[in-house]
Amino acid sequence: MPKILVSDKLGEEGVSLLRSYGDVDVKTGLSPEELISIIGDYEALVVRSETRVSSDVIEAGIKLQVIGRAGVGVDNIDLQAATHKGIAVVNAPTGNTIAAAEHTVAMMMALARNIPQANESLHKGEWTRSAFTGIELRNRVLGVIGLGKVGIEVARRAIGLDMQVTGYDPFVPEEYASSLGIELKALDDIYKDSDFICLHTPLTESTRGLIGEKQIAMMKPTVRILNVARGELIDEYALAEAVDKGQVAGAALDVFTTEPPVDSPLFNNPKIITTPHLGASTEEAQAQVAIEVAEQVITVLSGKSARYTLNAPLVLPEGQATLSPYISPAIYAGKIATQLTKGQLKKINIKYEGEIANHDTNILKAACLVGFLDQISQERVNLVNANLLASQRGLNITEQKATSIEQYSSLITVEVESSAGKTIVSTSHIRDETHIVRVNDYWIDLVATSGYMLFTDHHDRPGMIGALGTITGKHDINIAFMEVGRLEPRGRATMIVGLDDPMPQEALTEINDLPDVISTSVVEI
């Protein structure tokens, strides 16, 4: 019978399930030294966020087969060290989905009917019914920004309340959204048309400040805004000012830029409802998280592949020498393609050409999807769960193979078809490095590095490179490298500029205003 250590407080439902399979010890509050001294006796370790599972702990866990995280985030677990030691790391990403969705709906209802304000007034001995006249949700337009697990569950409940649900998520196919009763719209249209707007996106550089002064200016003065996702998605000062001025009818927030919030402008207006990050705080969610992680741990201990494993599987021995070097190029291809894609996603096609096409390419498909989903998923994406997450989003994915390719031993190409056209990115493995060799119609040769890259679509004219360099220099942005591709002299061209620093919006605007620039995109890799 395997020995299982639970080192953080875990719902009894999860502990009981673990005890049905193994010998369980619950020892909370262990110091790092105490944990290291005993972990060698256990096949499984289950933690929440309190226990830090360092490389030293993992090194001492000579019998460890699996580490279970009761929750989503695994920042407290050295994932790389666990992978190196062949230890599976599993989590419980769906246990709080319903809780977060229901909290969003509860906040929306409270906002619509002024429930917290009315309760406070009544407790003061007042009876001022007319001051708290609300609105009905029926026939109101709810704009859901981000159609992951929580966003979809919110949409389902809103449809049940006879609301008109619109959504924005460029990485959800229109057919899939329509099957759920959600009308996809452009982001600006969500801002302009919605009576309620709720946010359910991960926090990335592209989503930070998703709602600010500019976006609020597009909205109806009757709009009400909800955030149960990440505080940084909203400019809190801009929102508070808009509510004060009557540009926004109200807001309900469960998350904040700084937690706990100190001297927040959101606390000064009775039309803004706040809760202390309670989205996942239900008895059922805590129980479900405990059960979910226990099930994953038992699955691994049984010698099976768990659904929510967070570290990479091994490549089959017969294909390891050929496929392993192409995992990184595949990730880069997906990561660049998703950030260059504009419009509403329709289809993803992955091409494997050359030697790699002679093998089972499932690992490369997963790698492409890791890169593609990394910027848009609220969950940690890895080689194991990428296919599952893609399936849950309803992504339309096709694959092609060709065993011969000119110039390269192997080539991976990600083609993304959207309402705005087609985006193509090809990568390869050359001299032990990942090379970007094609972007749309342009064949190039660029070594992939970390940092930021500026992609331009422009007309090939004298002085273009100098003009761009002048702007980056003016804004103290250091250029690491530059690659130019063109179809013909003085024709259509692309420029890829490696940057040591993020590109501020002001500088990007100046580049877009250059006479020969057609469009630009900044990619973070």
Q: At what angle do helices 97-113 and 149-160 cross, to 10 degrees?
A: 50
Dist. CA 199–CA 234, nearest whole Å: 9
Dist. CA 309–CA 69, nearest whole Å: 10
Catalytic position from the list 230, 393, 429, 438: 230
CB of 354 within 8 A of CB of 282? no
> Which helix (DSSP H) or strand (DSSP E) does residue 336 occupy?
helix 327-340
Dist. CA 400–CA 389, nearest whole Å: 21
Q: Specify the pLDDT at position 253.
A: 96
> Counting Cβ atoms within 10 Å, is residue 215 exposed (0-12), middle (13-18) or buried (19+)?
buried
The per-residue DSSP string of 93-153 comes to SSTTHHHHHHHHHHHHHHHHHTHHHHHHHHHTT---GGGG-----TTPEEEEE--SHHHHH
Asked if 259 is an active-site residue, the reply is yes
Beta strand 141-145 with 164-168 is parallel
Question: Quick one: DSSP state of residue 254?
Answer: S
Q: Specify the pLDDT at position 406.
A: 84
| Alpha-carbon separation of residue 113 from 106, 121, 165, 401, 499 (angstroms) | 11, 14, 20, 57, 50
Dist. CA 4–CA 70, nearest whole Å: 14
Q: How many CB atoms lie within 10 A of CB 516?
A: 14
Q: Specify the pLDDT at position 312.
A: 60
* Contacting residues for 17 by C-beta, under 8 A, at least 6 apart: 290, 291, 294, 295, 298
Three-state DSSP at 69 gives: strand
pLDDT in tens, 152-204: 999 999 999 999 999 999 889 999 999 999 999 999 999 999 999 999 988 77
Q: Any bridge partners for residue 446, and if so which?
A: 436
Q: Could you tell me the pTM of the whole model?
A: 0.75
The per-residue DSSP string of 349-381 comes to EEEEEEGGGGS--HHHHHHHHHHHHHTT-SSPP
Asked if 277 is an active-site residue, the reply is yes
For residues 398-429, one letter each, b for 16 or more C-beta atoms within 10 angstroms of the residue's C-beta and e for the rest, the string is: eeeeeeebeebebbbbbbbbbeeeebbbbbbb
Catalytic position from the list 259, 318, 433, 506: 259
Sign of the torsion formed by the C-alpha atoms of 363, 369, 370 and 371: positive
Asked if 230 is an active-site residue, the reply is yes
Q: Specify the pLDDT at position 316.
A: 58
**Structure-token pair, residue 28:** 């909370």
Domains and CATH numbers, the chain: 3-94+284-301 (3.40.50.720), 97-274 (3.40.50.720), 317-524 (3.30.1330.90)
Catalytic position from the list 277, 307, 486, 492: 277
| Alpha-carbon separation of residue 483 from 355, 453, 474 (angstroms) | 27, 11, 21
Q: Specify the pLDDT at position 10.
A: 92
pLDDT in tens, 376-429: 887 767 776 788 788 888 899 999 999 988 889 999 999 999 999 999 999 999
Dist. CA 279–CA 236, nearest whole Å: 19
- In the predicted model, residues of the chain with pLDDT beneath 50 are none
| Alpha-carbon separation of residue 155 from 146, 150, 165, 525 (angstroms) | 10, 9, 6, 32
Q: Specify the pLDDT at position 314.
A: 52
Q: Specify the pLDDT at position 84.
A: 72
